[in-house]
Amino acid sequence: MSNHTVIALNVVAVAALAFGLYFPRYHRKDMVVAILGLNVGVMGVATALASSEVSAGLGLGLFGVLSIIRLRSNELAQEEVAYYFSALALGLLAGFDVDPAWLTPTLMGGILIALFVGDHPRLFPQHRHQNVQLDSAYTDEARLVARLGELLDADIVKIKIKRVDLVNDTTTVDVRYRLRTGPVETSMRDLDRAARTP
């Protein structure tokens, strides 16, 4: 497969990733810029590395270091980390000459399909995860689970107590839960309409 074809495939794939999957779900413009910039940059460097004497291991190590620095500089959710690294992988696939030729577009498609399915809003729609700080110090786990279920109107699946402060009477807990009612699908347009209704 020619270089121009693979570059065109990469552009289509990263556009689908950024504008078709990521932005409609998360609405973060800064991450769209990061995804596009990272992908094109990685593809350019990978293409240069593939046609030079420098080893691929050095190039991959460089990308790993750069991505860790970037991720440590700004906190990202786990889902956003997946999009970020997918952009990195798409760029690397486009930059290296892979044989047979059909493998590159197949792998690119696989990455996009995995993200589409794994991050689809209909996949486990009632499951949630939150860090909750309560205004009481709970040392009894059963009472804590009951209180969380009442507050969140949910069935508690798992908890991890992060901190119990007996002096300030607070408890911080990482809680995984399942909503008892359907998830609320509220858009900003609906909120705006509700605010203007007397």
Per-residue pLDDT reduced to its tens digit, 10-23: 889 988 988 988 88
Average pLDDT over residues 88-106: 76
Per-residue tokens: 21:
């999957």
At 4 the pLDDT is 77
What average pLDDT is seen over the chain? 78
Which two tokens mark 150? 């009442």
Q: Decide if 185 is inside a domain.
A: no
Q: Phi and psi dihedrals of 5, rounded to 5?
A: -65, -45
Is residue 92, in this structure, part of any structural domain at all? yes
**Predicted TM-score of the model (pTM):** 0.60
Give the separation between CA 107 and CA 113, rounded to whole angstroms: 10
| pLDDT score of 192 | 62
Q: How many residues does the chain have?
A: 198
User: Residue 152 belongs to what domain range?
Assistant: 127-179
139 and 95 inside one domain:
no
pLDDT of 157 higher than 80: yes
Whether residue 30 contacts residue 80, with contact meaning beta carbons closer than 8 Å, is answered with no
- DSSP code at position 169: T
Q: Clarify whether residues 26 and 98 are in a common domain.
A: yes
Residue with tokens 């107590």: 161
Q: What average pLDDT does range 42-71 have in this prediction?
A: 61
198 part of a folded domain: no
| Distance of alpha carbon 103 from the chain centroid | 25
User: pLDDT for 167-183, tens place per residue?
Assistant: 999 999 999 898 987 66
Overall average pLDDT of the 53-63 stretch: 60
